[in-house]
A and B are shown apart, each in its own frame.
Chain A
Amino acid sequence: MSSNRFIHALYDDDDTLLKAVKNIRSENYHIEEVYTPFPVHGLDKALGLEETRISIMAFIYGCLGLIIAVVMMNFIMIQDWPQNIGGKPSFSYLENMPAFVPIMFEMTVFFAAHLMVITFYLRSKLWPFKKAENPNPLTTDDKFLVEIELSDNEKGLTSLLKKSGAIEVSVIEKSE
């Protein structure tokens, strides 16, 4: 059973935060979460977070969009009703392809962009009317917060955080 007690350390500077995170991790504490008001360059590396795979998904979505565009236009313009429209050669897809390229391109971009954004929302659990999760409203303005799960060494961890430049260290109990 893991405890439901957490220690919250508040920082007021992103450089201090980065150093503190490296410190905490080198002492083998597991950082639960870090809350920042803006992207801190290098924080994901300092935390040892895995790299995002969203660009791979975007590539796959783009391929999907391209295939849909090709299949759609091949069916409509070539298979279903191959009319002579202004002398364009509708005998095969390849012969009339230059006319389809703008749509193929746009569909690729459309699918890649929108499905990637939706993927991002799903994976980061963002949607309208979602309850905000920040433990301290200051973290949306100008403070940085590090959340660490607490076991039995409260004293050692508190002094480590204080030493690393935290302006406030507090113990929080979550009821879940």
Chain B
Amino acid sequence: MYIFPNKIKKIAIAFMIVGFFGLAYGFLSAPKTIEQSKAMIEANHGDHHSAEHDEDNLKSHGASTISEGSENHHNDELHSNLDTNLNNTEAHSEGHGDAHDKHVFHQLANKPWAAFYVSAFFFFMVSLGVLAFYAIQRASQAGWSPVLFRVMEGITAYMLPGGIIVLVILFLSSLHLNHLFIWMDPEVVAHDKLIAGKTGYLNAPFFLARAIFFLGGWSLYRFFSRKFSLAQDKASDISNHKKNFRISAAFLVFYIVTESIMSWDWIMSVDPHWFSTLFGWYVFASMFVSGITAIALITIYLKSNGYLEFVNDSHIHDLGKFMFGISIFWTYLWFSQFMLIWYSNIPEEVTYFISRIEDYNLPFFGMLVMNFIFPLLILMNSDYKRINYFIVMAGIVIILGHYMDVFNMIMPSAVGDKWFIGVPEIGGFLFFLGLFVFIVFKELTKAPLLTTGDPYVQESKNFHY
């Protein structure tokens, strides 16, 4: 049995506390009203590049003095009231300045929410990726991986709580507490024929119902698979193993459909004017490779502390091969999506990449280096894949690279060019990292780290490549 080391527990809790304060700071420092956001922007411009934006400042000053009177008595009300206020001023032909201020206000107000959402989704995605990998190992009757089943089951323990947090964020969005999903704003939908045409699919009740259904389905598989896996240890026949095989195969069918729809819902719909057909696969590749990397990192950690003496460097080698291969698979999908849109250059599709290349140049292409070129060169050598140091180094870069991937998927639509990897973003990452580590290591203590009843476990223990 694994004992949760106190040191890790303390580090995880410290991460959560630091991350919580980082997120809280983000929420407290985000503007509550349009005036505050304008003041923040002006202060920023004054600080950094005053000459460049003098004209901008003048414009917003003008707009603010004109609309001040009409806005003051709305200050404490919801932003939908501000919207009506905006329409009133629009009628008075001061619409542009106000629309811009409102736009910037939404971006700044979205920042902590987006930081929260990106990290929440990222760590959820890691454990869902591990669940998919686990189901594939079960359904394909892999002979090498049964010694890693308990590590995978430990990681997938995070999926339900992590998924619930994501669900709560989605629910709060549908209550208009943030502006992450602009199609949830009835004011936007009313003036946007494109989104209005999608309301049959993109409406909050159906959206939340789908999310609950997906998370429910995945959690049911996770629950029963874990149950059968534990029961198999005590069983005298392999009926539990067979049951696990069957539900894993069924789960994979369910998963590939629901994962695809989930990626449209939770990620693609932050940008409801844009669509891509391979997006589901793209998100899948991202979660799959970060999930496999998480398995490798935790396996190496546990082994180096002497808990997995039956894991040899051939298992690490196989995980390294998966990290290498799926990293390339992810790049293939990233490039297929990028190149097809870049090549045809259809305006309604290409804006997605234009905003990313112009406002997110370093994160957008930096992520390509982290997720493709670095693992490609590091993990190509067969000998390096057996050395823990290389796997850990490549693994950390891959994990951070795929965090950047999710960051690049969410942020441009949520905060636009107001992005920064600052306190709320790092805080969000640390908070969920702490929570992830805490839940995963807690789950690892609940069962022996070696499945004893699995019919393939002997083969797996003797696995050599």
A: residues with CB less than 8 A from B are 55, 59, 87, 98-99, 101
Q: Given known contacts A55-B382, A59-B380, is B343 in contact with A99 (CB within 8 Å)? A: yes
Interface SS, B side: helix
Knowing A55-B382, A59-B380, the reply to whether A98 touches B342 (Cβ < 8 A) is yes
Given contacts A87-B345, A99-B343, 10 further A-B contacts (CB under 8 A): A55-B382, A59-B380, A98-B335, A98-B338, A98-B339, A98-B342, A98-B343, A99-B339, A101-B335, A101-B339
Within the complex, the shortest CB–CB distance from A39 to chain B, in Å, comes to 15
Q: Specify which chain B residues have a CB less than 8 angstroms from the CB of A59 in the assembled complex.
A: 380
Residue of A nearest to B382 (CB): A55
Question: Interface digits, B337-352 against A, CB 8 Å rule (1 contact, 0 not)?
Answer: 0110011010000000
Interface residues of B in 301-344 (CB under 8 A from A): 335, 338-339, 342-343
Which of A55, A87, A98, A99: most chain B Cβ within 10 A? A98
Contact residues in A for B338 (Cβ distance below 8 Å):
98
CA distance in complex: A99, B382 (Å): 32
A-B contact pairs, 12 of them (CB 8 A): A55-B382, A59-B380, A87-B345, A98-B335, A98-B338, A98-B339, A98-B342, A98-B343, A99-B339, A99-B343, A101-B335, A101-B339
**CA A41 to CA B343, docked complex, whole Å:** 48
Closest chain B residue, CB of each to CB of A62: B380
Q: Which residues of A contact B339 (CB under 8 A)?
A: 98-99, 101
- B residues less than 8 Å from A87 (CB atoms): 345
A160 to B339, CA, bound (A): 66
Q: Shortest CB–CB separation between residue A44 and chain B, in angstroms?
A: 15
B284 to chain A, nearest CB (A): 22
A55 to B383, CA, bound (A): 12
Tell me the nearest residue of chain A to B383, going by C-beta: A51
B32 shortest CB reach to chain A, Å? 43
Closest to A87 in B: B345
Measured in the bound complex, the distance between the Cα atoms of B339 and A80 in whole Å is: 24
Tell me which residues across on chain A come within 8 A of B343, comparing CB atoms: 98-99
A11 to B380, CA, bound (A): 38
Instruction: Name the residue of chain B whose CB is nearest to the CB of A55.
Output: B382
Q: How far is the CB of A63 from chain B (nearest CB, A)?
A: 11
| Bound form: Cα–Cα A113–B342 in Å | 30
A98 to chain B, nearest CB (A): 5
How long is the Cα–Cα vector from A55 to B339 in the complex, in angstroms?
30
Residues on A with beta carbons closer than 8 Å to the beta carbon of B342: 98
Q: Which residues of A contact B335 (CB under 8 A)?
A: 98, 101
Complex interface: chain B residues within 8 A of A99 (CB): 339, 343
Query: In the complex, what's the smallest C-beta–C-beta distance from A50 to chain B, in angstroms?
Result: 14
B377 (CB) vs chain A CBs: closest residue: A59
A101–B331 alpha-carbon span in the complex (Å): 12
A38: min CB distance to chain B, Å? 20
